[in-house]
Amino acid sequence: MNLTYLYNDGEFWHFMNNETFEQLSADAKAIGDNAKWLLDQAECIVTLWNGQPISVTPPNFVELEIVDTDPGLKGDTAGTRWQTG
């Protein structure tokens, strides 16, 4: 079932069905390692068993912003130099 990720309250991850506006909560076991890929308003595939989420699959692609990196080393470039002669 395709559901939209809303928020995490520290214990549960909350999702909404965009057709019925019904909200479901998934626990850490259902989310697994996918928590780091869940962004607000992301469309996820949620597998239910007896009406309860048992698995959450995030979108195939997410757009993230790099906020900090280590400085590069001298001479560490990706450019190509042409030599003449």
Domain boundaries, the chain: 2-57
Average pLDDT over residues 45-64: 90
Indicate the pTM of the whole model.
Answer: 0.72
Contact 84, 70 (CB under 8 A): no
Average pLDDT over residues 62-70: 83
CATH T-level fold of 2-57: OB fold (Dihydrolipoamide Acetyltransferase, E2P) (2.40.50)
Q: pLDDT band at 29, cuts 50/70/90?
A: very high
Residue 47: is its pLDDT beyond 70? yes
Q: pLDDT band at 45, cuts 50/70/90?
A: very high
C-alpha to C-alpha distances, 56 to 22, 35, 63, 66, 72, nearest whole angstrom: 16, 9, 18, 25, 37
